[in-house]
Structure 1
Amino acid sequence: MSISNARLEPYPAVYHHLGRLKLGDNWQLSGTLQSIRQLRADSVLPFFYFWGVFKLEDAMISLKTFSKSELARRVADIAMLEGEFLLRSGKISHRYFDKYRFEGDPLLLKPLAQAMSSLLPSDTEIIAGLELGGIPLVTAISLETGLPAAFVRKAAKTYGTCRAIEGQDIAGKKVTFIEDVISTGGAVTEAYQLAVQEGADVLAVVCAIWRGERELTIQGVPTLPVHPVFLRAELER
């Protein structure tokens, strides 16, 4: 891979995640990394990190394997907020679960994707993430499993391809939905209808968290299996 005049200082995460890796202010790469110019004498960087480009998995982030209970605790710690929040219903709540906080944290996203991958039906051919929260999850699971990912819009766009489901042709394919948090399953019902219209065989929905008050059932599609990593109670202990 060729990198021309790439500068490394925009990557402060390296400082944070790798104590043994120290980057100076004036690193520059040229061509195929055959020359390193303006190398600071006090900088230390193992040679194997420089094969074409940094391997993010190895060099940028050191990931730990969590037990299920530890992962649940960490998700709850980062996503459960205290304060005063206006809910969609118009009511005021002093607690709010901000799901995007754990979806945006790579130290949680990867182990969560691994846990969700283990719940996929074995005959899944395509995984389809629901807009918006299912998109980072389906991408991470696709990287984890090698399965192709599709992206389900809330409605078909009115320009270009005018498609509701992007990324893959799902007609005749066995599809598993990927969602972040499910309470009643309204979004899943709508996605199911869109997928069936395009000729897909929807096998199940795998979600990170089931926050519903009742049994694992999508109200609009009661026969669709639901496979959550966590139940609401597991995050509220």
Structure 2
Amino acid sequence: MVSVPQDTVVARDRLLSLINELAVVRGRVTLSSGEEANYYIDLRRITLHHEASKLVGQVMLDLMDKAGFDGIQSVGGLTMGADPVATAIMHAAGDAGRGIDSFVVRKAQKSYGMGRQVEGPDVAGRKVIALEDTSTTGGSALTAVEALRKAGADVVAVAVIVDRNTGAGDRIEEEAGVPYLYAFGKDELDVD
């Protein structure tokens, strides 16, 4: 039985509530970029949460659709932040009767087995969107875009759940030459 997704506005509102409740952690932290912040957005608390992960899939699929990216065949990004996001989108698409695969991008190409950097169904010749849960500098997304292009994918955009408003989107658009999409901006979060 295919489940009918709840209204996207309701899903978006509930997901934002869960992000603010579960994922915004206050206190001094050092980000992966090396920068310091007085809060941390731990989106794995959302993407791996039983209720929120379904909402992530629905909201991100809607974001991609509203951006006009028809014919997306696969989504994913640098492991591990992107992995549950891609899986959530894959399941939301399946619930809607659509076939979107997911993939995982390793930080470096394997030196054994098939020697792949992009794991999952082959992305060569496919329209894909590179994902992240959130981005501070854009570095992870750019690594994923480079690996995907080497694997022959047609990368049409980068999408994140939360944009931290740190310039990552501008960097991605400039360096990768693709649109940068996000479901929520920093101004929508309870961080100040």
TM-score, with length taken from structure 1: 0.66
- Superposition pairs for residues 206-221 of structure 1, below 5 Å? 206-214=159-167, 216-219=169-172, 221=175
- The answer to whether the 8 Å contact 1:123/1:174 transfers is yes
- How many Å apart are 1:190 and its aligned residue? 1.2
Distance between the aligned counterparts of 1:158 and 1:175, measured in 2? 25
Distance between the aligned counterparts of 1:204 and 1:231, measured in 2? 17
1:200 equivalent to 2:144? Answer no
1:95 equivalent to 2:43? Answer no
Distance between the aligned counterparts of 1:193 and 1:182, measured in 2? 16
Distance between the aligned counterparts of 1:230 and 1:223, measured in 2? 22
Distance between the aligned counterparts of 1:196 and 1:87, measured in 2? 27
| Structure 1 residues 82 and 163, CA gap change in structure 2 (3 angstroms) | same
Q: Which runs of 5+ in 2 are unaligned?
A: 94-98
Sequence identity (%): 29
The one-character-per-residue Cα deviations of 1:19-45 (angstroms, maximum 9, x if unpaired) are xxxxxxxxxxxxxxxxxxxxxxxxxxx
1:167 corresponds, among 120, 130, 133, to 120
- How many Å apart are 1:68 and its aligned residue? 2.7
- The answer to whether the 8 Å contact 1:184/1:212 transfers is no
The one-character-per-residue Cα deviations of 1:53-99 (angstroms, maximum 9, x if unpaired) are xx9x99xxxx97635334212212101123454545375x5532222
2:75 corresponds, among 113, 127, 149, to 127
Distance between the aligned counterparts of 2:28 and 2:146, measured in 1? 36
4+ aligned runs moved over 4 Å, structure 1: none
1:176 corresponds, among 129, 136, 144, to 129
2:57 corresponds, among 113, 116, 124, to 113
| Structure 1 residues 222 and 155, CA gap change in structure 2 (3 angstroms) | closer
TM-score, with length taken from structure 2: 0.80
Supply the RMSD in Å over aligned alpha carbons: 2.6
Amino acid in the other structure paired with 1:69? D
- How many Å apart are 1:215 and its aligned residue? 7.7
- The answer to whether the 8 Å contact 2:12/2:55 transfers is no
* Larger RCO (CA within 8 A; separation ≥ 6): 2
- The answer to whether the 8 Å contact 2:78/2:105 transfers is yes
Distance between the aligned counterparts of 1:148 and 1:226, measured in 2? 20
SS of residue matched to 1:216: helix
- The answer to whether the 8 Å contact 1:177/1:206 transfers is yes
Equivalent residue number for residue 225 of structure 1: 179
- How many Å apart are 1:230 and its aligned residue? 0.5
SS of residue matched to 1:221: helix
**Which protein has the larger Cα radius of gyration, Structure 1 or Structure 2?**
1
Of Structure 1 and Structure 2, the greater helix share is in 2
1:75 equivalent to 2:10? Answer no
SS of residue matched to 1:95: strand
Distance between the aligned counterparts of 1:166 and 1:156, measured in 2? 10
Equivalent residue number for residue 96 of structure 2: none
State the aligned residue count: 177
